[in-house]
Amino acid sequence: MNPQTIMYLSMIGLMAGVLSGFVGVGGGIIIVPALVFLLGTTQHEAQGTSLFVLSMPVVFFGLLQYWKTGNVNWKFGLVIALTFLIGAWIGSKLSF
């Protein structure tokens, strides 16, 4: 990787992280288009990379902060999470 690519990737990560943490949008809304348009990746590669990047930080830091302030509805979350897994599986199959 050259320095310019590293700079772009760092900017993408920082912007996506700030927006995810601040307003709750998925960082993929920034990461996927940026990877495709700035760095020329394929759509599928950008989506896969975005999923890899977002899995741990969003879950850990986001959930921890909201849990500490009493803003997690565990019952609603579990129902949504279970059905989200099914939807994600269907969506990933449809994308190919």
What percentage of residues in the chain have a pLDDT greater than 70?
A: 99
**17: confidence class by pLDDT, cuts 50, 70, 90:** confident
Residue 1 to residues 9, 16, 39, 94: CA-CA distances in angstroms? Answer: 10, 21, 11, 32
Q: What is the predicted pLDDT for the residue at 37?
A: 96
Alpha-carbon distance of 63 to 54, in angstroms, equals: 13
Alpha-carbon distance of 74 to 4, in angstroms, equals: 42
Q: pTM for the whole thing?
A: 0.63
